[in-house]
């Protein structure tokens, strides 16, 4: 090496520690964030495991509560409709409901007891028991609906078709009293004589068949009285 080369050779400065320190700090920050995410996911998994551990117990508890509520409803149906059956038919019969509740699904079947012996609701009564039960169950169903979304209006189409004429006013009275108590407006369609309804109806219309259709005439309008059924506003 010549002297000139020795003169031109310059010392190489050592690398600056600043970029390396910044990189180290970035890596440390990334490590900290990764560790925090890992810890959070571990907590989330622990909560999920805890929920899964009690999920069956919670579901069983909800089923039990629902079954108890269902049982209470069934008892109410048995009591109220037994009274209705006895008042209309004047017979010592009792409504019994067989219920089943499994995983949120409820089923009911009906029969009556006469002197302690079970009897099919469609036998021995010519369908009159089924008529009365149908009215009662419809009323119960309507009470479960949201008033803000459903009009409290019930149409009964020949629900008295299997009743003797002398029993019809008793059914009409029950419908009248229930409708008034629950705030329902009820429209009953029947082939029975107008006199069976006059005591409880607000208005009665008679439909008379003619050659090309029917004529409609007002057969009865109740005077203003405290015991008349006031229809709900529609």
Summarised one tens digit per residue, pLDDT across range 113-146 is: 988 899 888 776 668 898 899 898 888 888 888 8
* In contact, 185 and 231? CB cutoff 8 Å: yes
Report if pTM > 0.85. no
β-bridge mates for residue 118, sequence order: 113
Q: For 57-115, what is each residue's pLDDT tens digit?
A: 666 666 666 667 777 878 888 999 999 999 999 888 999 988 777 666 778 888 899 88
The answer to whether domain 56-221 has CATH 1.10.10.10 is no
Tokens linked to 57: 């117990």
Measured over the CA atoms of residue 147, residue 153, residue 159 and residue 163, the dihedral's sign is: positive
Show me where the domains of the chain are located. 56-221
The DSSP letter of residue 228 is: S
Describe the crossing of helices 168-182 and 128-143 by its angle, rounded to 10 degrees. 10
φ, ψ of residue 180 to 5 degrees: the values are -65, -40
């Amino acid at each position: 090496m010549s002297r000139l080369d020795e003169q031109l050779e310059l010392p190489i400065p050592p690398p600056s520690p600043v970029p390396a320190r910044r990189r180290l700090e970035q890596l440390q920050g990334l490590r900290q964030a990764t560790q925090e995410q890992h810890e959070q996911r571990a907590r989330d998994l622990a909560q999920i495991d805890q929920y899964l551990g009690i999920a069956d117990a919670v579901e069983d508890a909800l089923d039990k509560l629902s079954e108890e509520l269902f049982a209470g409803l069934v008892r109410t149906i048995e009591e109220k409709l037994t009274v209705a059956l006895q008042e209309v038919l004047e017979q010592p019969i009792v409504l019994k409901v067989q219920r089943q509740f499994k995983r949120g699904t409820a089923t009911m079947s009906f029969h009556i007891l006469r002197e302690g012996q079970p009897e099919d609701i469609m036998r021995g009564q010519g369908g009159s028991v089924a008529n009365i039960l149908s009215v009662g169950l419809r009323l119960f169903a309507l009470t479960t609906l949201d008033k803000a979304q459903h009009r409290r209006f019930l149409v009964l189409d020949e629900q008295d078709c299997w009743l003797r004429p002398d029993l019809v006013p008793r059914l009409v009275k029950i419908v009248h009293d229930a409708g008034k108590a629950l705030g329902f407006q009820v429209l009953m369609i029947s082939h029975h004589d107008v006199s069976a309804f006059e005591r409880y109806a607000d208005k009665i219309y008679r439909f008379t068949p003619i050659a090309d259709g029917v004529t409609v005439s007002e057969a009865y309008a109740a005077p203003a009285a405290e015991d008349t059924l006031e229809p709900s506003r529609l």
